[in-house]
Amino acid sequence: MNTSRRNFITHSGALGALAPSFTASVAPLLNAAQSPGPDPGAASREQRMRWWHEAKFGMFIHWGLYSVIGQHEWALEVEGVPIPQYEILAKHFTPKPDAARDWARLAKRAGQKYMVMTTKHHEGFCMFETKLSDYCAPKQAPGRDLVREFVEAARAEGLRVGFYYSLMDWHHPDGARCANDEAARKRFVTYTHGLIRELMTNYGKIDILWYDVHWPLTPEQWESEAMNKMVFELQPEIIVNNRNGLPGDFSTPEQHIQAADPGRAWETCMTLNDSWGYQRSDDSWKTPKTIVRNLATCAEGGGNYLLNIGPKPDGSVPEESVRVLETVGEWLDRNGRSIYGSERGNLRGGTFSQYTKRGNTLYVHVYYWPGHTPAAEWLSFFRPATVVAIGALQAKVKSARLLKTGAAVTFEQSATSLRLTGLPADPPDGPITVIEVECDSEPVMNHESIRPEWPRYSVGIKT
Ligand code: GLC
């Protein structure tokens, strides 16, 4: 296997922390691992995934030895740190008690319904008690099982529990040579399946297993089918992602939003700045407005949004992350009905708004509020006052209201356009205002159907 770790990740679409890109499109997903093979969870998938589809918003947590140096979780690889040097970090990782309680409370305030924590990242350090290695939190400076604390904290807040687990392991002596040495492969696969077995056995019911990076082996070499089979035997209700090289239950676009093909579940994972693990000088914080728009874009395409925090070495959450998450949570308190439990439709955002739906209800998320336009006579069609106009809606509207206050919104509807009228000049909510529109059937948009019939009045073309 000649593929380098970085190339492997770039080509498998799993990199993003180092080269973030964001395209707010809802196009078919191309980067899912789609190797064919038995699908042990297929029969129960719909039932297992119901809560997850409803939940829409989760917290990702990247925390490990890399947090101690605060230079991103790839520091070991990209800075070429010798392993014995890196191991010293395990002697200086001394988190405060119950750090996870604060994450869980924050997730709850942010309106997130599940949490996924790094139990072992590429650095190979196990944040949990294991019989298979001494390179684990209880036997090093922390002196405690940090995964257990996380599980208990999430449950205390009524949140679902997910484990991130990196197959790629830079620390284990067989982690790279397993690609070319069959005896090493067997040892390393036994080790890996053994750690996953412990995670799936020792913490009660686990809701998500979030594999990452299967470099340098193929799914066959990882024995990924046997891996998933064991996981489902130990945790029949669990859902698994696609990063052990099998399709699993959902796809995982990283640092960008891209819907999977209809019928396929997907979740965008994204950082709040540019880094997953704590990176002390990364100040590229996304705004609450960007996060709310991303969440709505995911919901519009039927996907979930897994948003990351990178706690500091003591476990505390960077202040900027707290500030953004709390603002998002306050918005969700007022507008959660437009996100949780929403369903994928054919609605496409325009230039000032995007759309989610549930049943016959359409939610118009206005992120650029139109406001009053100067009252020139010739502009009167567009903005007689403040109007939010939506083209090509096929369903007949029965009523509309501001989601924040419930105040009724008046409207006019023609064959081409729904015009929500009588709105205030200033946006009634922030960072995005949502208008709830009840229709007599499923809200569907079809711009194609109205183009030929477009009212043209007299357009000054001489025949
Ligand atoms: C990539 C990165 C990793 C991060 C993950 C999150 O695989 O290597 O650092 O944990 O993406 O999706």
User: What's the CA-to-centroid distance between 314 and ligand 1, angstroms?
Assistant: 22
Cβ-Cβ contacts under 8 Å for 116 (sequence gap 6 or more): 58, 59, 60, 61, 162, 163, 164, 208, 210, 306
* pLDDT of the residue at 278: 98
* pLDDT of the residue at 187: 98
User: What's the CA-to-centroid distance between 15 and ligand 1, angstroms?
Assistant: 6
Ligand 1 neighbour 223 (Cβ under 6 A): no
pLDDT interval class at 24 (50, 70, 90): very low
Interval 94-110 mean pLDDT: 97
CATH 3.20.20.80, the chain: domain bounds: 37-338
List 136's β-bridge partners, or say none: 126
Identify the residue whose C-alpha is closest to ligand 1 atom 10: 276
Ligand 1 neighbour 154 (Cβ under 6 A): no
Instruction: Tokens for 362, please give them.
Output: 């359409």
Cα torsion through 171, 212, 203, 295, rounded to 10: 140
User: What's the CA-to-centroid distance between 427 and ligand 1, angstroms?
Assistant: 37
Task: Render pLDDT for 246-285 as a digit per residue (tens, 0 to 9).
Answer: 999 999 999 999 999 999 999 999 999 999 999 999 999 9
Dist CA 169 CA 377 (whole Å): 68
Instruction: Give me the architecture of the 37-338 domain, per CATH.
Output: Alpha-Beta Barrel (3.20)
Task: Render pLDDT for 443-458 as a digit per residue (tens, 0 to 9).
Answer: 999 888 888 777 777 7
Ligand 1 neighbour 208 (Cβ under 6 A): no
Cβ-Cβ contacts under 8 Å for 125 (sequence gap 6 or more): 64, 65, 90, 135, 136, 137, 140, 171
User: What's the CA-to-centroid distance between 116 and ligand 1, angstroms?
Assistant: 13
Identify the residue whose C-alpha is closest to ligand 1 atom 8: 15
Ligand 1 pocket mutation, candidates 66, 213, 214, 268, criterion most atoms within 8 A of CB: 213
Dist CA 177 CA 123 (whole Å): 16
* pLDDT of the residue at 374: 59
pLDDT interval class at 6 (50, 70, 90): low
Question: Hey, what CATH topology would domain 353-453 get?
Answer: Immunoglobulin-like (2.60.40)
Identify the residue whose C-alpha is closest to ligand 1 atom 4: 276
Q: Is the pLDDT of residue 225 over 50?
A: yes
CATH 2.60.40.1180, the chain: domain bounds: 353-453
Residue 65 carries which DSSP code?
Answer: T
pLDDT interval class at 23 (50, 70, 90): very low
Ligand 1 neighbour 174 (Cβ under 6 A): no
Instruction: Please answer whether residues 282 and 251 qualify as being in contact, where contact means their C-beta atoms are separated by less than 8 angstroms.
Output: no
Instruction: State the CB neighbour count (10 A cutoff) for residue 271.
Output: 25
Ligand 1 neighbour 269 (Cβ under 6 A): yes
Identify the residue whose C-alpha is closest to ligand 1 atom 7: 14
Which of 199, 192, 183, 178 shows the shortest CA–CA distance to 226?
192
Ligand 1 neighbour 213 (Cβ under 6 A): yes
